[in-house]
Amino acid sequence: MPNSQLIKCSVATNHHPSQNFFLDALSDEIQQRLFPYMELVSMPLGEILYESGEVMRYVYFPTDCIVSLLYVLENGAQAEIAVVGHDGLIGMSLVLGGESTTSRAVVQSAGYAYRLLGQRLISEFSRHGQLLHLTLRYSQALITQMAQTAVCNRHHSIDQQLCRWLLLSLDRLKDNHLVMTQELIANMLGVRREGVTEAAGRLHREGVIDYSRGHIFVTNRPKLEQLCCECYAVVKAETDRLLPYHPSKK
């Protein structure tokens, strides 16, 4: 059971479930059925929401945090297979009928999320309405990200992988600032820390990023996109196609 700190409504006036794009895309009718049961929780850096094989009880909807889905080997080595932010939800396996998954979910960038008992979301999912449609489309977008990540990790340089990772993370944050150590990035990418240090140094010399003591600032996003491989563009295009997130509410 994650130890996320539950936030009382009286101190959560700046937060609302609709800050999550997935939830905001739902009709008013569905929101009225789900939002009263949403709990705002803090998501500190490094928090593990669930482990591989662990029975899942909750689904999480990030508002201003980022969660990495990691595959962990028996020897402890790990690599990121997808990143989720205010674009989606954590706990797809539970919604789609499984009680566990082979991945680990870890908070990559601290912030907040709304959590909901999985069974309540499954009940809405079983109505075969808008939530079902949106969840399946999000599932396809997530599978695309996982597949492209696998291809990128196999065929592209550490520099290109770092660019892809930075761009995907930025798309899920409100600004161009990430709190992330190079060691943690290396763990996410499944590469040596020295490789990330060298790649980050090259981006710094190109005038793309500034970094200091775990803080990364992207100062030239167009240049970052130019230096990236095609993997980011593929994921973004498919995500934008599947999830416009602005349907006319019915």
Radius of gyration of the chain, Cα coordinates, nearest whole angstrom: 18
What does the domain layout of the chain look like in residue ranges?
Answer: 9-127, 153-236
Class of domain 153-236: mainly alpha
User: How many CB atoms neighbour CB 77 within 10 A?
Assistant: 10
Sequence length of the chain is 250
pLDDT one-digit tens code per residue, 120-153: 999 999 998 999 999 999 999 999 999 999 999 8
pLDDT one-digit tens code per residue, 177-217: 888 777 878 877 878 889 888 999 999 999 999 988 778 99
Judged by DSSP in three states, 246 sits in: coil
The fold of 9-127 is Jelly Rolls (2.60.120)
Query: What does pTM read for this prediction?
Result: 0.88
Long-range contacts formed by 200-205: CB under 8 A, 24+ apart: 200/162, 202/159, 203/159, 203/162, 203/163, 203/227
d(CA 76, CA 60): 25
Asked if residue 227 lies in contact with residue 159, where contact means CB atoms within 8 angstroms, the answer is yes
Asked if residue 60 lies in contact with residue 67, where contact means CB atoms within 8 angstroms, the answer is yes
